[in-house]
Each structure stands twice: as structure tokens, then as C-alpha cells.
Structure 1
Amino acid sequence: MVHTTNAIVIGARKYGEADLIATCFTESEGIKTYMLRGILKSKKGKIRASHFQLLTQLEIEATHKNKGTLEYLKDAKIAVPYQTLHTDVIKSCLVMFLSEILTSTIREEEKNEGLYQFLSGSLELLDHADDFANFHIFFMLQLSMHLGFYPDDTSVDLPYFNLLEGLFQDEVTNIYCEKGGYIEALKGFFGINFDAAMGIKLTKLQRSGVLNLLLLYYQLHLQGFKKPKSLEVLQQLFN
């Protein structure tokens, strides 16, 4: 069956000399993986390799057999033209980091319109943002809401954050209860919007510490979640 849908390129890898395997999060059916035959050598045709840069937003026409195999892409065009996301050096590194996060977290082959709209809107905000040093922290916290393990912030004033249970409390109950400067910095990201989050002033140690807390939080709540390989480069750029 042929589908026309919006899609975000989550990952792409070379296969053989001329082929590309692209994984996309589609608005209509969740994660889909496509075999793009000859795309790396072809200078003609509707579909181009440049369309499959990480986190590009496309409008695609595809045949989905829904049998767990590689799908067929009939047509693709840019749905949201980016201005800076693939040309700014720091944003490009951030795109790699986000791509790795999404590869480890989004696996379902089913429609999730709320998650799609969150990703699409977040990427557009990042593309237009001048101040985005806190973007990955705010993004990961908000993403956890769409993935079903957003922390319970009803008692955010309590000193300990129980990463295993995802709540704030006044005493230690397991080895994953943390308090201190990084937890206090993390608390500042609850209950605010994008602009406010980008305005939070953090030292390089605070930003790194909060990000590592969130990565541990993800590891505790998502089976098979892997720390992104691009993390070290990202930390260096933002420091």
C-alpha cells in the first residue's frame, strides 16, 4: 500500500557501493527503514542522497508492506528547509547526538503523532535558535514525557532525586538517589518553556553533570539504551 506522510530521518548508512539504508520516523506509522538503491551514484531521479542528512524533515511517498523488512521509497522531498541545522558546526554535532538518542529510544512501528509533532517542532526551534547551549538537556527531559518516563515533579522541592523511581524525595532509598548542585540545576528545567530553558545560566561543569544525570536516567528506564558516541565531542564543543 502506498502512503504519503511526513518523516524525520533518524539515521542513514551506506550499503555496498551505491546504496543507502535510511531509517525514518514517519508521522503515519512510526519507525520505517528504507533501502535506497543506487542513490549514492545516481545524479538523476527524484530522490537524492542529500535528502537523508540526519534529522532532515521530509514528505515521502512510500510502499509499506509492514512485514518487518526494508520498505520501498517512491519519492521524497524536503518538507522543512533548515537554515542552520546542517551548516553550523555546533548544531551539526548536536544533530549527531540527537540522532543517536532517537535511534536508541524510538523503536515502535506505530503512529505517535504527539511524539512526531514534538520532534518536528523541537528541530525547527533549534534551527532558528541563536542561544541553544541547554537544548539537549531540555530536549531529553521533554522527550522522556513522550516516551512514558517523565519524572514526577510534584515534590521537586525535596533534596533527593531518585533516578530509579523517577521522583523527588527527602531521604535515600537506593543507590540511585542523588542530591547536590547538579540536581538543583536539573530542577530549573521543570515547568518552563523553550525560551526560558535556553536562558538558564549553567557552568560547563553543571551542564555536563546534568546531561550525565539524564543519560543515566535514560539507561535506567530504557532497556538497551546506549550512551551516544558523539557525547565527548559535544561536551567539548559546549565547554
Structure 2
Amino acid sequence: MSTSVKAIVLSKIKFRDNDLIISCYTQHRGLSSYLIRGAFKSRRPGTIAYYQLLSQLEIVETYKPNQSLHYIKEVKSSFVYKTLHTNVIKSSIVLFLAEVLANVLKEEEQNILLFDYLETALQWLDSETSYANFHLLFLLKLTKHLGFYPDMTQTEVGVFNLQSGYFEANSKHIYAVSLGNNLILKQLLDINFDALNRVKLNADQRQAFLNMLMQYFELHLGYFKKPKSLQIFNEVFK
């Protein structure tokens, strides 16, 4: 059965000599993988370019429920990025976030709110010139869709506990965050991307908060592994 769907590319790997396997997050079915035969020898302009990480596509797929790999009959961009793949810093963000998303998005079921979030956030990043803290807010907001967004009922009374997901009075707990990270977390909670320029962080603060977020993901997603690109990514933002 052929169906037209929107998709965001999460990962890609060369298969055999000329084929490509891509993993996408789709609007209608969540995670889905595709085999693109002859991708590296196709004479059609831009065939490989369509499948850059986090590209937003509209595809016509051939889907068979009992198969792990499906096929793409037609492809075009649903949104054409202007800077995301050409700006060196933004490209580093794309590489890092794509690795995180490929790690955490496992469900093969529709989640329109999550898809819309990814689509809108990436378009915002593409259009902005001030985005040093984008990845921090992106990951924090992502936890809302993954089911472990920090509880905000007691933000004024204590320190955030990574294990419980609550703000608590006990600042000596093994999973209590540092006071610096606690302050940044309170600044980022419940703001939108357009308010990010009000959050002023230096490179050390940014790196410490990102490392805290990675620990938070590890505690709440048993299968989560720190991205291989994390160290390189931190170097870029020094």
C-alpha cells in the first residue's frame, strides 16, 4: 500500500555498495525505517541530499506491516532548511540532537504532538541567529513528550532531584542537582524558544547543564546511552 507521509530523518547508514537505510520519525506512525535502493548511484539530482540528518520530508512510502524495512517511491522536502546543514555550529547541533533522538524515539505509533514539536523546533533553529542554548531547552521540552518532564509544583521550595523528577528540600541527596544547575533549570522551565535570549549562560554553565540533562535521561530511560558525539559537541560550544 502506498501512502503519502511527513517524516524527519533520524539516522542513515550505507547498506551494501549503493543502498541506504534511513530511520525516520513519521507523523502518522512514529518510528519507521526505509531501504532506498540505488541511492548512491541514482542519477536523480539531490537524491542523497534529501536524507541529511533531521531533514523534513514528504514521502510516498510502500508499507507492509510485517516488514521492518519499508520503501520510498517518491520524496521531496516538506521544509527546506536555509542554514541548518550549512552553518557549522548548527550542523553540530543537528548531529548531536539526531543521535539523541535516534536513541530515545522507539515507539512505532502515532504521536502527532511530538512530531509537531520536532518539526516546529527545528524550523525555529533554522531561522535564528542567536541559539547557543537551543539544545538545552530542546532536550528539556523533549522530556515532556517522553513522560518525565520535571514536576513544577514546588519549584520555589527546593532543589531538583534527578531521580524523582521533583523539587525537594533535601539538597544533600545523591541525585540533587548543583545550585547552579538548579537555577538554570528554573529559568528554562515553561518558557518557549522565543524567550531563550533572556537566559544568559557561559560555556561552562552550558556544558554542566547539558551533562546534567544526559544523566536525567539515563535515570528515566533505561536504554539511553550518552551520545558518542557529546564530547565533540561540548568542544564546539567552549
TM-score tier (shorter): over 0.9
Q: Does 1:225 align with 2:188?
A: no
Q: Does 1:38 align with 2:38?
A: yes
Give the C-alpha shift of residue 237 in structure 1.
1.5
2:87 — aligned with what? 88
Deviates more, 1:192-201 or 1:215-224: 192-201
For the 8 Å contact 1:54–1:99, the answer to whether it is kept is yes
CA distance in 2, matches of 1:43, 1:190: 48
1:49 — aligned with what? 48
Q: Does 1:14 align with 2:30?
A: no
AA in 2 matched with 1:59: E
For the 8 Å contact 1:183–1:210, the answer to whether it is kept is no
Give the C-alpha shift of residue 172 in structure 1.
4.8
Give the C-alpha shift of residue 146 in structure 1.
0.8
For the 8 Å contact 2:21–2:36, the answer to whether it is kept is yes
For the 8 Å contact 1:4–1:59, the answer to whether it is kept is yes
- Scaled by the length of structure 2, what TM-score is found? 0.96
For the 8 Å contact 2:20–2:36, the answer to whether it is kept is yes
AA in 1 matched with 2:3: H
Q: Which residues in structure 2 correspond to 1:208-219 (within 5 Å)?
A: 208-219=207-218
CA distance in 2, matches of 1:198, 1:62: 40
Q: Which residues in structure 2 correspond to 1:20-169 (within 5 Å)?
A: 20-44=20-44, 48-169=47-168
SS of the residue aligned with 1:65? coil
- Partner deviation per Cα, 1:3-56 (whole Å, 9 max, x = no partner): 1111000111111111100111110111110011111111138x8111000000
CA distance in 1, matches of 2:228, 2:185: 23
- Partner deviation per Cα, 1:189-233 (whole Å, 9 max, x = no partner): 012111212331011111111111111000001121111111122
For the 8 Å contact 2:9–2:54, the answer to whether it is kept is yes
- Scaled by the length of structure 1, what TM-score is found? 0.96
For the 8 Å contact 1:141–1:214, the answer to whether it is kept is yes
Give the C-alpha shift of residue 173 in structure 1.
7.7
CA distance in 1, matches of 2:42, 2:62: 21
AA in 1 matched with 2:208: G
Structure 2's unaligned 5+ residue stretches are none
For the 8 Å contact 1:159–1:179, the answer to whether it is kept is no
For the 8 Å contact 1:135–1:198, the answer to whether it is kept is no
Q: Does 1:3 align with 2:3?
A: yes
Q: Does 1:202 align with 2:201?
A: yes
For the 8 Å contact 2:158–2:171, the answer to whether it is kept is no
Distance 1:169 1:139, change over 3 A: same
Q: CA RMSD in A?
A: 1.4
SS of the residue aligned with 2:153? coil
AA in 1 matched with 2:23: T
Aligned residue pairs: how many? 238
AA in 2 matched with 1:87: T
Q: Does 1:235 align with 2:234?
A: yes
CA distance in 1, matches of 2:138, 2:201: 16
Deviates more, 1:149-158 or 1:130-139: 149-158
CA distance in 1, matches of 2:151, 2:115: 23
CA distance in 1, matches of 2:194, 2:141: 14
Deviates more, 1:125-134 or 1:170-179: 170-179
AA in 1 matched with 2:15: Y
CA distance in 1, matches of 2:2, 2:96: 32
Runs of 4+ more than 6 Å apart? none
- Percent identity over the alignment is 42
